[in-house]
Chains A and B, each alone.
Chain A
Amino acid sequence: MIAVDKRYDIIPNDFNFAGRASSDIKRTLKSMHFSREFIKRVSVAAYEAEINIVIHSRGGKAAFKICEDALYLEFVDIGPGIPDIQLALTPGYSTASEESRLNGFGAGMGFSNILKSVDKMDILSDPNGTVLKLKFNITEADRDENR
């Protein structure tokens, strides 16, 4: 059974709008009474991925699904892609612009943060765009809002 199926637009270079999708994901999970720990894990990964589309791409979309014992986030953008994924995953590596840094992003730790939070991550990228898929396994403890 699919319990949640939501989609969001992510606008490039808009630092006011940025974070809207992650905020809605967080609120949805809260209303479903997941544990704080689980919600934080998903929110932080979602926010890093959303910000990456804002600061590194020409815009894109996010999809948020909960299906049985797994939560899926999928971020799709319309380019310019990640030329060297291995390099992009290296902690500290960043091509963020000066403007992004002035807005508090671009320490090159986004992917490290995402990897710490997820159970599985897949990246597909070419100059036409990037797809980032994140999977979070849902355990019994994650469903307990008192944790």
Chain B
Amino acid sequence: MTLGQIIEKYKCNVYSRTPFNTGKEIRYAFCSDLMSDALMIMSTVRESGILEDSVLITGLATNQSIRTAEMLDVQIVCLVRGKIPAQQVIDLADESGITLIGTELTMFNLSGRLYQEGIVGIASKK
């Protein structure tokens, strides 16, 4: 699924102003409100290209969601259940080159739909 399709299908708002590629293929996802969990699970990924093609789905509309994505080389953060990021969060996303989008869907419903579309969840590798 491409980023453009995700934005259109789930009626996402695009908050960041940095230009992005709507044709970017999204192949993987991880969802959590706990950034510790995202760091722990996503940092175990060793193959290159996976995190770069991932979306971090979260209800946490703070700077730390952006920072976490930045540390992991994840380029897209999607806020759920209509959370609206503060201006400073949007500014940080722009500064870090992260595409910040948001949908009214809940975390479960967005994740379920993406899963149905064939997007693979990132799991910890022991």
Contact = CB atoms under 8 A, between A and B. Distances in A.
Interface in B63-110: 63-65, 67-68, 70-73, 88, 96
B71 A106 contact: no
Contacts of B36: 104-110, 113
A125 interface: no
B97 to A, nearest CB: 11
Nearest to B58: A104
A16 B43 contact: no
A18 B35 CA distance: 13
Given A18-B63, A104-B36, A105-B35, A36 B43 contact: no
Interface residues of A, number: 31
Q: Which of B33, B36, B58 gathers the greatest number of chain A CB atoms within 10 Å?
A: B36
Contact of B43 (A19, A101, A117): A117
B71 A40 contact: yes
Interface of B: 33-37, 39-40, 43-44, 46, 48, 51, 58, 60, 62-65, 67-68, 70-73, 88, 96
- Nearest 9 Cβ contacts at the A-B interface: A19-B67, A104-B35, A107-B36, A43-B71, A44-B43, A109-B40, A47-B71, A104-B60, A104-B64
